[in-house]
Amino acid sequence: MVNELTAICKKLKLGDLSKFADQVAFENETQYLTDVLRLLLENREAQRVQRLIKQAKFPAIKTFEGYRFEPITWPKGFGKEQLLSLEFIEKKQNSFCSM
């Protein structure tokens, strides 16, 4: 039944509809169909917004979270703490690290 629903949704270009079918409680046919379609619409709008943001090529917010500092050879007087504090920018100094 699920495979048939997925195939029908694909033919009708309602591809994601089948994944929302089991997320909605059934009270009556109209309510169920309305709620499933509402979830599909909300999902498509969220995907559209994400796609437009990506197309706009806004500057990406970058962090050091998950970055590995171990392979870096730091110059004398400069280390991880100075890099993370960004104080070298205020002092108009260059930062050079090698791996």
- Predicted TM-score (pTM) of the model is 0.55
12 & 45 share domain: yes
Give the contacts of 24 (CB within 8 A, at least 6 positions apart): 32, 35, 36, 39
Average pLDDT on 77-93 reads 82
- Flag whether pLDDT at 4 surpasses 80: yes
Average pLDDT on 69-85 reads 84
9 & 49 share domain: yes
How confident is the model at residue 62, as a pLDDT? Answer: 85
* Cβ proximity of 33 and 24 under 8 Å: no
48 & 94 share domain: no
46 & 24 share domain: yes
Q: How many domains does the chain have?
A: 2
- Flag whether pLDDT at 48 surpasses 90: yes
51 & 69 share domain: no
* Cβ proximity of 54 and 65 under 8 Å: no
* Cβ proximity of 99 and 71 under 8 Å: yes
Domain that holds residue 7: 2-56
Give backbone dihedrals phi and psi of 72, rounded to 5 degrees, phi first.
Answer: -85, 135
8 & 45 share domain: yes
11 & 50 share domain: yes
**CA 35 remoteness from chain centre:** 25
- Flag whether pLDDT at 31 surpasses 70: yes
